[in-house]
Structure formats: C-alpha cells, structure tokens
Amino acid sequence: MPKNAFFNISEEKRKRFIEVSIDEFTTKSFETVSVNSIIKRLDIPRGSFYSYFENLEDLFTYLFKSIREDRIIYARTLVNDSNNDYFTFIKKLFAYDFDKFKSECKYSLFRNYIHYIQFTKKKSIKDLIVIDGVQGIANGLRFDEVFNIKQYRITSDEFLDVIELIIVIMIN
C-alpha cells in the first residue's frame, strides 16, 4: 500500500502517477513493467517512487485494490437486482466488467492481476479473489445465504470452484 508520502503530494500528481501506472500495467505484462519506465514517463527521481511505494508489487496491488473495491460495491447492488439468483447475477456482473474494463482499458490490468496471482505469487484465484470477493459481496452474510446455491445441489466449495472457472474463462 502507498506510503504516507504518496498522500502528501498534490491530488493532480497522484492522479497522474496512477494514470501512468495503470497505463504501464495495461500495455505490458507484470514482468515487463519497470520502475524505470514509470519514473521516465512521470519525470520523477527513482527515490520518489520508493518514497511512495515499496516496490512494483506494492503499486500493482494498490491499483487493483481500488478497482476491486468499486466492483464489490457495484456487485452488492446486483445481488438485489438479480433476486439473489446466482446465474442472473453473474451475467449482469460480467456485462458490467466487460463494459467497464473495455471502456477504461483496464481489461489487461485485470488479466495481469490474474497472471500475477497464479505465476508470481503461486496462489489460486479462488483463495485470493473469489473468496474475498464473495465475502465482500455478501456483506457479512454467508454467501450461500445470499445466493440460494442449494437449489443447484452443489456444496459451497463447488460453488467457489465454479466462480473461479468463470473468471478464468472470462479473462481468456
């Protein structure tokens, strides 16, 4: 997460820093983005970057966290709009994701995040995105109480596996 120094710069400079960083992560893979490419575009000293963030991973996590939080807020409204039907919910959420990521050129950022989780962190999408996201959407309730998954005759773990599979299909 950003260090205090990041919040001490002007809002205009913060926005520019974020815009350049998002652009770097949406036009390149995580492995090819460098501190050097970001600081050159921003015309700032290398030390400034490190006074704002520990490293690229820290920056990348921060960028994706805000996108994820916006998505969870929107997803909570979709639960009611979908009458708690999981498949209606997923259809509407993916339409939102497609429109938002496409229009804001963030699709590649999402894809990079999935790649980063799987190959850099060696973690599963289920553990780092699905469970947190579903818990965030459920807003304190158990997700099987929000979505009537019993009607599908699947367990909670199978339900989470289905969500993980849908995410993988969506990004490919």
Q: Are 75 and 133 in contact (CB under 8 A)?
A: yes
Q: Which two tokens stand for residue 43?
A: 């015309």
Q: What would the mean pLDDT of 162-171 be, rounded to a whole number? A: 67
Give the DSSP letter of residue 3. -
For residue 54, what pLDDT is reported? 97
For residue 18, what pLDDT is reported? 94
For residue 70, what pLDDT is reported? 81
Indicate the fold that domain 4-58 takes in CATH. Answer: Arc Repressor Mutant, subunit A (1.10.10)
Q: Within 10 A of 107 (CB to CB), how many other CB atoms are there?
A: 17
For residue 95, what pLDDT is reported? 80
Contacts of 150 (CB under 8 A, 6+ apart): 144
> CA Rg, the chain, in Å?
18
Q: What would the mean pLDDT of 4-10 be, rounded to a whole number? A: 97
Q: Closest Cα to residue 136, out of 80, 68, 83?
A: 68
Q: Are 25 and 33 in contact (CB under 8 A)?
A: yes
Q: What would the mean pLDDT of 26-35 be, rounded to a whole number? A: 86
Mean pLDDT of the chain: 79
Q: What would the mean pLDDT of 17-37 be, rounded to a whole number? A: 89
* pLDDT higher than 60, residue 172: no
> pLDDT tens-digit profile of 53-102?
999 989 988 988 877 788 788 888 888 888 877 778 878 887 887 777 66
> pLDDT tens-digit profile of 88-146?
887 888 788 777 766 555 556 667 776 666 666 666 655 655 556 666 666 666 666 66
Residue 1: pLDDT band (50, 70, 90) is confident
Give the DSSP letter of residue 125. H
Q: Closest Cα to residue 139, out of 99, 80, 87, 67?
A: 80
